[in-house]
Structure 1
């Protein structure tokens, strides 16, 4: 049966509402459906000459109604309007350019109320897919950004990020452990990734912020930032060392990956990035512009892991005084403030009164375990927990009166913003909540973070949740719900949720003998092994 798609919509859909579908069927039974708590995910094979697909649903197996028309072969149907604990029957109908229809098949699926653990597992799994399904195919690396809305203003769809890949690496390791992928699939992906990095542009052993995924050539991050990026490379090596530890006693292929990572690690010239022996590390060096970026890593922000790795290097290590005189500013890194009665002992750069954006409590601690980690400047578990609670308290207080803010919607960090990209924090708040802020804070604030997860999923639904988990940012105040992802925000979600659940990333990174030696060299005490 064919339908004239130029009829009024009520007449067009009437056969489906009454339960009379097209007579012709292709690949019946090939529709794959997975039911969650409040949504269903559907996949189906592409049909020849199809220009779009009509999705229909029935709760009684007879009366079907339309849900959406899409060009993709995947659809996530949020079913709040249909109820809870549902038994649903879906049909997929292919539409060609002449608006002729062919039914591809149907399938049954159920939805069920999820426990908190099931919700956490769901969010972690969906976010893992950014780094697994969404990776750039030639390199296996994480794309800098994925825009579901299809717009790439910088024409950078296949540009990969070194730091974001480092965070996502922990997600892939979690995927192996949780059997979302096989061990062999993970091995093959890491082999591709390491081979790419071995041949990609490096500058004194240090990768740039961005690389072209097809070629491995540098993609300048800014006009003078076309060389080594020490901080992003530290985030990458944090992940790679965890992979080395995971596979170092494995089969021949796994040992070869671990060996290549070891060679890449030993080739990183951390001492070069002291600009010839100064007592501080510098973020950038360019073969064209030298040290013109002039960004010394001083004072507290997201860069602690850079000093840990630089001190830990067995080949190009820096002395402890570079940490104490550079990073810690000869002790001037300390302060004592108590916003909302939560004490901070580190002077957050440019945000001394209430702490910086929340990614400062995440990026360096994807592998570096803050539990029990203490030196002469701070107890890092207390610092990060209080930093998170201050950020939350600011949003709960909501002195600027932004719509939606409260105990179930908080979290300011760097993300997309209404007018581009911004580093949101208390005192620099534009009414934009970044899901990564609360979700990556699960180790520090599990109950408070769960409230945000539930609110986003149950009350905002498809406005904020897609095929790779929660989108990067939202603003109920501005009715701003971009369907866009950034690797540096998705990576901490999957990695820190896994650290909250099992401590996997922390265990792997912290067991590296060089890291243990480096922490001792810098005067760290570690109660948590």
Structure 2
């Protein structure tokens, strides 16, 4: 079926130093005895001998950067502290911690453990810098070390000073059984110069965390276990990083792990993609600032759009609010806002939504049956206008942001705990069964107090995949697997070859981007995709490549179209106009409209939306990056602003005699928009971050609702089962 775009989702991270003062000076009695044997020596010789003896005996045994032999004024001992001071380790394994030394000039110190159990030892790691005030220590245990919690004293000495600190060491029982490792996901994709995280599962759990190394990786690629790994937990978070020197391509690598006296390995596939130019990171930050600055901080609602001329729209879009909720963790990860700042913004939003009135009144309510009206007054949060309905897909986008925050904000603080409580409560009250009652189990598009349910249901293929994933994964109002079967029943109508690529075809690119901004579809397949031998990620790559091929062919003869100027999706436009060109051809244009190139829902009036290409960077970086660079070079001063890319531009619209719906017409350039749309800004931000780090995908892979929904829909493979993704 054709999706009513504007009416639904589109309406807007020592040893070896010989220390001075380590040996005691000669005892005074020995010195005086030696002096007596030379009683006939002149007094001056006595003085000289005594001076030489004292000077020679006080000297240390060489080494660079010796510690001071004379303590600073008032300092009588070393102050030592361990970070962390509580360690957890399996018998037969080891763990590291940082030892802080004050005064710093006495570091590194010689360390030892007092009152430690049998088999427990400590050693200073190589590389400790003299005078730095810190050194890395490794605490190791023997397989025979008894399990239990030990309070041990760490003693450190340097120069004339010494000190102690206390360690609590929790020793887990030694691992038994053959060591086994598995990586989730087993296929990683990241740009050269970037990083991404994945989980390593360890069996037996008592052996974790294990020490990991990549076998023969390309130059510039390495792995490291993230801080916070808990001994005996059976899992550890790992970061894979690459430098810009890594050759692009796909690598099949072996990841070795050692722990508990055993070794094991697992396989990783790493796809290294083109490095992201610095300008793209700036675009990402500017786009984040759009959500941070334009959202109503008092209630967390995000405006539908923001105009450089008029500011934010008077009404909020719940879909844009879902993208805003997804933006805040990205800001935290990049250091653009603090965890506390983002958490408070999220808490404000969720609290407002949870307490907003729900009911069937035509006015005075914000939603009904757990759903919210598509448009809410930006200030009051009540239904905006008299025609706004409960759009199921826009609610799904809102709830995707809610679920993302529920999984991300989990540091155990009071604020994070409140976020999780409210997020879970908000999602649990969304009554998907109610929204599907008109033609059960298909989800209806929309409901209004005056008209009830829309005559249309969501069937594929379009942006509504996430509607069904959430509905099937609901812990309270779950739809049956047959809902997914009904959703995919119309897929044959959308399957075909478009510009040489077989695909499920939906013209506007937002149909490929919305669900995949949150859900990592790489390598996971439902029954339909298994039958076609691809996955939804590959399908979206083909859709992206087809749009470029369409622009190169340029059947409509639009100005500027080519390999580096393409991108059709639902977006702003110059307005509803028709003109006759010099060849007698009638050219028609639209304002906000669903533009696209594909077997279904195709429309083109020469309007290019930067979000169409940029939000596809995860699918086809090799064609997206040069396209965006060309847009910047050729149109940047007109289409880039405070918050990144304006929504759209049209080089073919050169009609200066008319007043466009938004923006302006620049002679020789064409129509350029002056608005930013929340539902177009969101995919830009999220897909850039997914390309750089995989943040949103990694977090959402852990969400129980998403996992349950995918499994209910019949998805298998990939990160759901730890198998490699399709190439």
**Same fold flag (TM > 0.5):** yes
Equivalent of residue 524 in structure 1, options 715, 718, 721: 715
**Preserved CA contact (<8 Å) 2:569 2:612:** yes
TM-score normalised to the size of structure 2?
A: 0.53
- Find 1:274's aligned residue among 423, 429, 436: 436
Q: How does 1:80-119 map to 2 (within 5 A)?
A: 116-119=276-279
Q: Does 1:295 align with 2:460?
A: no
Structure 1 residue 450 and structure 2 residue 625: aligned?
yes
SS at match of 1:248: coil
The change in CA–CA distance for 1:398 and 1:503 in structure 2 (over 3 A counts) is same
> 1:388·1:444 contact (CA, 8 Å) conserved in 2?
yes
Query: Comparing 313-322 with 449-458, which one deviates more in the overlay?
Result: 449-458
The equivalent of 1:207 in structure 2 is: 372
Say yes or no: does 1:160 pair with 2:316.
yes
Structure 2 equivalent of residue 81 of structure 1: none
What is residue 447 of structure 2 aligned with on the other side?
Answer: 285
Q: Is the aligned partner of 1:365 residue 2:516?
A: yes
2:699 is aligned, of 503, 508, 521, to: 508
For 2:491 and 2:700, how far apart are their aligned partners in 1? 29
Q: Equivalents in 2 of 1:253, 1:157: separation in Å?
A: 30
Q: Aligned match of 1:124 in 284, 287, 295?
A: 284
Change (3 A) 1:332 1:486: closer
Distance 1:334 1:376, change over 3 A: farther
What do the CA deviations read for 1:400-428 (whole angstroms, capped 9, x no partner)? 22112112211000000121111111241
Whether 1:338 and 2:497 are equivalent positions in the alignment is yes
Alignment match, 2:569: 413
Shift of 1:323: 1.6
CA contact (8 A) 2:433 2:441 kept: no
Counterpart check, 1:180 vs 2:336: yes
Measure the CA separation in 2 of the matches of 1:526 and 1:132. 37
What are the Cα deviations for residues 262-284 of structure 1, in whole angstroms up to 9, with x where unaligned? 00010100010112661311021
Structure 1 segment 375-386 matched on structure 2, within 5 A: 375-378=526-529, 379-386=535-542
TM-superposed deviation, 1:168: 2.8
Supply the distance in 2 between the matched residues of 1:321 and 1:517 (Cα, whole angstroms).
Answer: 15
Q: CA deviation at 1:512?
A: 0.8
Q: Deviations over 1:89-123 (max 9, x none)?
A: xxxxxxxxxxxxxxxxxxxxxxxxxx843112111
The higher radius of gyration belongs to: 2
Larger relative strand fraction = 2
Partners in 2 of 1:520 and 1:387 — Cα distance?
Answer: 25
CA contact (8 A) 1:334 1:377 kept: no
Q: Secondary structure at the match of 2:294?
A: coil
Instruction: Indicate how the Cα distance of structure 1 residues 487 and 332 shifts in structure 2: closer, same or farther if over 3 A, else same.
Output: closer
Q: Post-superposition shift, 1:432?
A: 0.4
Q: Does 1:399 pair with 2:560?
A: no
Residue 396 of structure 2 corresponds to residue 225 of structure 1:
no
Aligned partner of 1:356 in structure 2 is 507
The structural deviation recorded for 1:182 is 0.9
Q: Give SS of 1:260's match.
A: helix
Corresponding residue number in structure 2 for 1:149 = 309
Whether the aligned pair in 2 keeps the contact of 1:301 and 1:356 (CA below 8 Å) is: no
> Of 296, 309, 318, which aligns to 2:470?
309
Checking the alignment, whether the CA contact within 8 Å between 1:299 and 1:333 is kept in structure 2 is no
C-alpha distance in 1 between matches for 2:710 and 2:595: 31
Q: Report what 1:73 is aligned to.
A: none
* Deviation readout 1:37-92 (Å, 9 max, x if unpaired): xxxxxxxxxxxxxxxxxxxxxxxxxxxxxxxxxxxxxxxxxxxxxxxxxxxxxxxx
CA contact (8 A) 1:166 1:237 kept: yes
Instruction: Give structure 2 stretches of 5+ with no counterpart.
Output: 1-274, 357-365, 530-534, 576-590, 654-669, 721-727
Quote the offset at 1:224 in angstroms: 4.0
Q: How far apart, CA to CA, are the structure 1 residues paired with 2:481 and 2:445?
A: 18
The answer to whether the Cα contact below 8 Å between 1:407 and 1:451 also exists between their aligned partners in 2 is no
How far apart are the structure 1 equivalents of 2:438 and 2:639?
A: 47
Q: Report the Cα distance in structure 1 between the residues aligned to 2:630 and 2:648, rounded to whole angstroms.
A: 14
Counterpart of 2:34 in structure 1 is none
**What are the superposed Cα offsets for residues 262-318 of structure 1, whole Å, 9 maximum, x if unpaired?**
000101000101126613110212233212x22211121110000000000000001
Q: Higher mean Cα deviation, 361-370 or 162-171? A: 162-171
**Which among 393, 412, 418 is matched to residue 256 of structure 1?**
418
**Structure 2 counterpart of 1:422:** 593
Rounded to whole Å, the distance in 1 between the matches of 2:502 and 2:714 is 23
Of 546, 554, 561 in structure 2, the residue corresponding to residue 390 of structure 1 is 546
Distance in 1 (alpha carbons) for counterparts of 2:277 and 2:338: 22
1:236 aligned to 2:398?
yes
1:475 aligns with 2:650: yes
Which residue pairs with 1:374 in the alignment?
Answer: 525
> How far apart, CA to CA, are the structure 2 residues paired with 1:245 and 1:442?
25
Rounded to whole Å, the distance in 1 between the matches of 2:629 and 2:380 is 41
Q: Which has the higher helix share?
A: 1
| Cα contact 1:136–1:158 (8 A) shared by 2 | no
Deviation at 1:490, TM superposition (A): 0.6
Displacement of 1:392 in angstroms is 1.5
* Aligned equivalents of 1:526, 1:294: Cα separation in 2: 36
* Distance in 1 separating the partners of 2:638 and 2:387: 37
**Higher RCO structure, 1 or 2 (CA under 8 Å, sep 6+):** 1
- State the shift of 1:373 in Å: 2.4
